[in-house]
Chains A and B, each alone.
Chain A
Amino acid sequence: MGMTIAQKILATKAGLSTAEPGEIVEAYPDLVMSHTATWRSVSVMNKIGATKLFDPERLAIVLDHISPAKSEKNAADQQVSRAFARKYGIRKFFDIDSGIAHLVLMEAGHVAPGDLIVGTDSHCTIYGSLGALGTGIGYTEVTSVWLTGKLWMKVPDTFRIVLSGEFAPGVFSKDLMLYLIGTLGADGCSYKSIEFYGDSVVGLSISERMTMANLAMEMGVKCAFFPPDAKTLEYLKNRLKEPDRYHPVYADTDAVYQKKLEVDLAQLEPMIACPHEVQNTKPIGEVVGKKIDQLFLGSCANAKYEDLAIAAQILKGRHIHPSVRLIVTPGSKNILLEAAESGVFKTLLEAGGLFTNPGCGACVGDGGALADGEVCLSTANRNFLGRMGSSKAEIYLCSPATLAASAIRGVISDPREFLQDAWASARGEEA
């Protein structure tokens, strides 16, 4: 019987010819990512007295969550991570200037189709945008993979999601994912792998695929895949250091899917996730007019260049409403550079935005905290109670276009009111 992408990757990494859903295999990841949690994994290593890594080349460390350090404790933790990277000769080490781990690693060419990547972050699913199996684990388990090179993994069942039609103007991949999460629920794809197919996938930029594979986590997926195509190759062409790293993995034509879903993109509208669960989604019409205090254009879900550019397009020549504040946190240094060169940086600043350094920032409550009773509209992937400061604050999630439109009005607003013919050209450009 044929295999899905997840089955094939897990079988290969476990040295097996096949792997069936439900089977537990011992797999050897190609890459182990640890972010700000690195010091915790180091402390486990010290606690058990281990001194030898399985393979230092498989480690990647990115200091992204609380960067730069905001307390002595953070500074000391970062010091531990830096010292560890030096001691063990970790070459894939990215310090506080780099940005969010996921985006940094993909930009740097450390993620290739067919790779198995684990890391201290649930949104490792984003690596599926390039055809890699990415999934999150805890810090002790990261230590375990550092030392043994392997971990046990259950082979997941796979859902096949087929996309047809084109997004209407003002509707984006974020809206599609909020729609899916709202429809399927926070555990709608629990333990599952999902694969995206259909005529519409070809048209989705790598940036949009990243948003989708990232948000898939909020339905509980273990991993999510876009089968590699011309766009994947184009994105990776100059990034992969060794060209022979490009090993796309595809599902067999007779692969077995537990469930098949079809979505017509043309039927979708801008969506909003209301507090305090991502699955609590509503079409924008039901939320329009909700007063906002803060807007956050950031996170690994929607702070790529394309996301900032879409927001800039709406905000160009306009100014945010005097009653709101707009925090822009580019996903990586490279994204910030690109925004600086293209004028997007200037546009967003002139419109009243505050730029913070690349990284996770307000997504994880590092800066941009909310006070009691405040409302934040955010392009991030989570709106959980207390995630951005006060537990009496509210977080709503949306696309970068909806965010920009709402910034202008000071209340949640439909981006389709600001439509210009430039939409089509915004889409299709790669981040």
Chain B
Amino acid sequence: MKTIIQGKAFKFGDNINSDVIIPGQYLIYIDAERLSQHAFEVLGDDFPAKLRNYQILVAGRNFGCGSAREQAATAIRGLGINAVVASSFSRTFYRNAINDGLPIIECPDLHAAVEEGDDLRIDLAQALIFHRDRHYSFPKLPDSVRGILEMGGLAAYLKTQLTSPPRP
């Protein structure tokens, strides 16, 4: 995981649910590229292609609410999004993003200030977001979950945790 994340922000409102992020019919897939082709497509307007021009999502409250589908995080990662900054996240999306290796940041003050296309610079180590001439701090992730993110997700982390299987 990079400690500096930089890029253009796309802005969403409150309560973006995981059915909108990735509709149920695509849950038969688990690979990021495939899922990303359908991310946010119900919003019309050729959304999946449009979002590829952005690197950071900024959202309001309760981002990722609804279904516990892990593919919501995977699909966003597949779009080339390197971080999601929201005023708050739903519990399941928060866990899934960490487990999927997608950095997520809770920063309630940023949302109102950002406009679509703004440049953002996120310093994960310092827990700061730089926007225009201001910066915003955010709470660091608990140690127990940072390890998972740093390894790129739970599967990789788990692999290191397992003792080697018994030999036949």
Interface residues of A (CB under 8 A from B): 24, 36-37, 40, 43-44, 47-52, 71, 73-74, 77, 120-122, 135-141, 143-144, 147-148, 152, 186-187, 190-191, 220, 222, 277, 279, 364-365, 382, 384-387, 391
Q: Which 5 A-B pairs have the closest CB atoms?
A: A138-B70, A136-B68, A386-B42, A187-B62, A384-B19
Residues in B with CB closer than 8 Å to A382 are 17, 19, 66-67
Q: Are A140 and B155 in contact (CB under 8 A)?
A: yes
Q: Are B24 and A74 in contact (CB under 8 A)?
A: no
Chain A to chain B contacts (Cβ below 8 Å), 22 pairs: A40-B30, A43-B30, A44-B155, A48-B155, A48-B156, A50-B162, A71-B28, A122-B92, A137-B68, A137-B96, A138-B73, A138-B95, A138-B100, A139-B70, A140-B153, A140-B155, A141-B96, A186-B15, A220-B65, A365-B23, A365-B24, A382-B19
Residues in B with CB closer than 8 Å to A139 are 30, 70
Q: A391–B44 Cα gap in the complex (Å)?
A: 8
Q: A346–B96 Cα gap in the complex (Å)?
A: 44
Q: Are B165 and A147 in contact (CB under 8 A)?
A: no
B90 interface hit (Cβ, 8 Å): yes
Interface residues of B in 28-83 (CB under 8 A from A): 28, 30, 41-44, 61-62, 65-70, 73
Chain A interface helix/strand/loop/mixed: loop
Q: Look across to chain A and name the residue whose beta carbon is closest to the beta carbon of B97.
A: A138
Q: Are A47 and B155 in contact (CB under 8 A)?
A: yes
Smallest distance from the beta carbon of A427 to chain B beta carbons, Å? 30
Q: A42–B100 Cα gap in the complex (Å)?
A: 16
Q: Are A364 and B161 in contact (CB under 8 A)?
A: no
Partner of A186, one of B30, B42, B65, B145: B65
Asked, given contacts A120-B68, A220-B91, whether A386 binds B155 with beta carbons under 8 Å apart, the answer is no
- Contacts A48-B162, A187-B90 aside, 5 further interface pairs with beta carbons under 8 A come to A135-B91, A138-B92, A140-B100, A186-B62, A387-B23
Q: Are B165 and A152 in contact (CB under 8 A)?
A: no
Q: Are A385 and B20 in contact (CB under 8 A)?
A: yes
Q: Look across to chain A and name the residue whose beta carbon is closest to the beta carbon of B68.
A: A136
Instruction: Flag B8-32 by CB within 8 Å of A: 1 or 0 each.
Output: 0000000101011001110110100
For chain B, give the interface size range: 35 or more
Interface residues of B (CB under 8 A from A): 15, 17, 19-20, 23-25, 27-28, 30, 41-44, 61-62, 65-70, 73, 88, 90-92, 95-96, 99-100, 142, 144-145, 153-156, 158-159, 161-162, 165-166
Residues in B with CB closer than 8 Å to A73 are 28
Smallest distance from the beta carbon of B95 to chain A beta carbons, Å? 6
Residues in A with CB closer than 8 Å to B166 are 52
Q: A260–B154 Cα gap in the complex (Å)?
A: 37
Q: Are A138 and B142 in contact (CB under 8 A)?
A: no
Q: A115–B27 Cα gap in the complex (Å)?
A: 29
Q: Look across to chain A and name the residue whose beta carbon is closest to the beta carbon of B89.
A: A190
Residues in B with CB closer than 8 Å to A187 are 15, 61-62, 65, 88, 90
Smallest distance from the beta carbon of B121 to chain A beta carbons, Å? 28
Smallest distance from the beta carbon of B82 to chain A beta carbons, Å? 20
Q: A191–B154 Cα gap in the complex (Å)?
A: 21
Partner of A144, one of B61, B144, B158: B158
Smallest distance from the beta carbon of A19 to chain B beta carbons, Å? 15
Q: Are A387 and B88 in contact (CB under 8 A)?
A: no
Residues in A with CB closer than 8 Å to B43 are 385, 391
Q: Are B99 and A140 in contact (CB under 8 A)?
A: yes
Asked, given contacts A186-B15, A277-B15, whether A138 binds B28 with beta carbons under 8 Å apart, the answer is no
Q: A149–B4 Cα gap in the complex (Å)?
A: 34
Q: Are B42 and A77 in contact (CB under 8 A)?
A: no
Smallest distance from the beta carbon of B87 to chain A beta carbons, Å? 10
Q: Look across to chain A and name the residue whose beta carbon is closest to the beta carbon of B162.
A: A50
Q: A382–B20 Cα gap in the complex (Å)?
A: 12
Residues in A with CB closer than 8 Å to B96 are 137-138, 140-141
Residues in A with CB closer than 8 Å to B67 are 121-122, 382
Smallest distance from the beta carbon of B152 to chain A beta carbons, Å? 12
Asked, given contacts A136-B68, A382-B66, whether A190 binds B91 with beta carbons under 8 Å apart, the answer is yes
Residues in B with CB closer than 8 Å to A365 are 23-25
Residues in B with CB closer than 8 Å to A122 are 66-68, 92
Smallest distance from the beta carbon of B122 to chain A beta carbons, Å? 23
Residues in A with CB closer than 8 Å to B42 are 385-386, 391
Q: Look across to chain B and name the residue whose beta carbon is closest to the beta carbon of A364.
A: B24
Smallest distance from the beta carbon of A226 to chain B beta carbons, Å? 21
Q: A36–B24 Cα gap in the complex (Å)?
A: 12
Residues in A with CB closer than 8 Å to B154 are 140-141, 144
Q: A408–B161 Cα gap in the complex (Å)?
A: 59
Q: Look across to chain B and name the residue whose beta carbon is closest to the beta carbon of A363.
A: B24
Q: A190–B63 Cα gap in the complex (Å)?
A: 11
Q: Look across to chain A and name the residue whose beta carbon is closest to the beta carbon of B61.
A: A187
Asked, given contacts A74-B28, A122-B92, A144-B154, whether A384 binds B145 with beta carbons under 8 Å apart, the answer is no
Residues in B with CB closer than 8 Å to A191 are 91
Q: A43–B69 Cα gap in the complex (Å)?
A: 16
Smallest distance from the beta carbon of A45 to chain B beta carbons, Å? 9
